[in-house]
Amino acid sequence: MLLEIAIADAYGAGFEYDPPSDGRPNDASRYVKHRRHANKRPGDYTDDTQCSIAVAECLLAGTTAPLDFGAAILATFKRDPRHGYAHGFRSVLEGAADGAGFLASLRPHSDKSGAAMRAGSVGLLPSIPAVLAVAATQARITHDSPGGTGAAQGAALMVHHQAYGLGPVAELPAFLAAHVPAVDWQRPHRGRAGPKGSRSPAPRSAFCWMRAA
């Protein structure tokens, strides 16, 4: 699963927020370097995969308190500094000495999609209440807002729904709406997605991570 996340992340990073008419081929035939990522090689995964690794390591260790997630995100960055983090967030990571210091330096109320991008592996937990609780815990250290936390819960639940064979993909909007009312999962999206968690394509396609793996 993490391998598939890394592949998709590394490919998508070349086109993030770029207009579709910029002339570069977006046909999955090769990795492409983003014009604004001067220090990132084509094919390198970004912060989204690195934070997904951190969350997965916490799940494997059975340590899922906020400090555990914060310490894991910091540790994965320190051992392998990656490009792709927002400038301010990277500065916090570079300056933090431990998990507690990292959490204390954050402004944790983002409503963007970062917490959803790292939540996929949470969906492998065995029950819906566990998925909702752990997805919210890891989200709130950086995205303590209805949209940010709700998107993370939705991303994890998509994986859970498909991993445990709870129904066809067509039933996902109703399934998510029943468990995560903070996001309008049943409203068709049109136009550009943007960075907000509640409007990002990331949570809506999270089940693909599980099926591809």
CA distances (Å), origin 97, targets 87, 92, 115, 207: 18, 10, 22, 35
pLDDT at 193: 62
Other C-beta atoms lying within 10 Å of the C-beta of residue 104 = 11
At 208 the pLDDT is 42
pTM of the predicted protein model: 0.88
Q: Exposure pattern of 156-194 as b/e (b: 16+ CB <10 Å)?
A: bbbbbbbbbeeeeeeebeebbeebbebbebeeeeeeeee
CA 67 to chain centre: 18
Domain CATH code at residue 193: 1.10.4080.10
Taking alpha carbons only, the member of 62, 117, 123, 61 closest to residue 85 is 117
Do residues 76 and 53 touch, judged by C-beta distance below 8 A? yes
For 101, the domain range is: 2-212
Q: Among 134, 75, 118, which residue's Cα sits nearest to residue 100?
A: 75
pLDDT of residue 186: 79
| Domain tally, the chain | 1
What single-letter amino acid sits at 4? E
- Using one digit for the tens of pLDDT, what is the confidence trace for 123-154? 999 999 999 999 999 999 999 999 999 999 99
Burial of 127 (0-12, 13-18, 19+ CB in 10 A): exposed
Q: Tell me the per-residue pLDDT of 19-33, one tens digit each, with 9 for 90 and over.
A: 766 677 788 888 988
pLDDT at 204: 39
Q: Which pLDDT belongs to residue 202? A: 46
Residues whose CB is less than 8 angstroms from the CB of residue 166 and which lie 6 or more positions away in sequence, other chains included = 160, 175
